[in-house]
């Protein structure tokens, strides 16, 4: 029984978070790393996280786990779009499932090192509440319909790991 619980806890970590390739976009990922998002609870396994990013119109300068990616944001040109995502051990079993829909994104006040024209965030639970998901979208200029469509395209290419 314990082996089954450990196997289920490890299932989402068998494939790290990633963006599927898109023409004109650059991608990167951290793989699985120790989580900075969860506290010191008792876990069946070490709390993990996996981060990934995709960027259009800007060279991504930060490690994949940088939250926020301040070096990249400090040089964010007009028209650039960055979508950054992280999954981590679940924050709560009460989280609603994430919807990767830019129309549902909330404005997000960010960043220590850069003034960004527009930032948005989506968050929620991954499949079967196996992990928590945070997605942040950064724009180099106020998002017009074309930039919003680019952000949605990136969200459509975010490959969330299966839970089981």
pLDDT band at 50; cut points 50, 70, 90? very high
Retrieve residue 144's tokens. 């017009």
40 Cβ neighbours under 8 A, 6+ residues apart: none
What is the structure's pLDDT at 112? 62
pLDDT of amino acid 46: 61
How confident is the model at residue 108, as a pLDDT?
Answer: 82
pLDDT at 8: 43
pLDDT of residue 44 exceeding 70: no
What's the whole-number mean pLDDT along residues 11-30? 89
The pLDDT of residue 7: 43
Residue 4 predicted with pLDDT over 90 = no
**pLDDT at site 146:** 97
Positive or negative, the CA dihedral 82, 62, 162, 46 is: negative
Query: Higher model confidence: residue 53 or residue 33?
Result: 53
pTM, to two decimals? 0.86
**C-beta separation of 12 from 163 below 8 A:** yes
Which tens digit of pLDDT belongs to each residue from 68-114? 999 999 889 999 999 999 998 887 778 899 999 999 999 987 766 56
């Amino acid at each position: 029984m314990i082996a089954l619980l450990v196997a289920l806890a490890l299932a989402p970590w068998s494939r790290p978070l990633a963006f599927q390739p898109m023409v004109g976009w650059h991608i990167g990922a951290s793989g699985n790393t120790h989580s900075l998002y969860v506290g010191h609870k008792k876990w069946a396994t070490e709390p993990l996280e996996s981060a990934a990013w995709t960027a259009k119109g800007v060279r991504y300068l930060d490690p994949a786990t940088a939250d926020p990616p301040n070096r990249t944001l400090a040089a964010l040109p007009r028209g650039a779009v960055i979508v950054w995502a992280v999954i981590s051990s679940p924050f709560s079993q009460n989280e609603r499932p994430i919807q990767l829909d830019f129309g549902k994104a909330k404005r997000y006040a960010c960043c220590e090192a850069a003034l960004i024209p527009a930032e948005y965030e989506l968050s929620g639970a991954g499949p079967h509440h196996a992990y928590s998901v945070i997605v942040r979208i950064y724009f180099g200029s106020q998002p017009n319909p074309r930039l919003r469509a680019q952000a949605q395209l990136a969200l459509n290419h975010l490959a969330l790991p299966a839970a089981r």
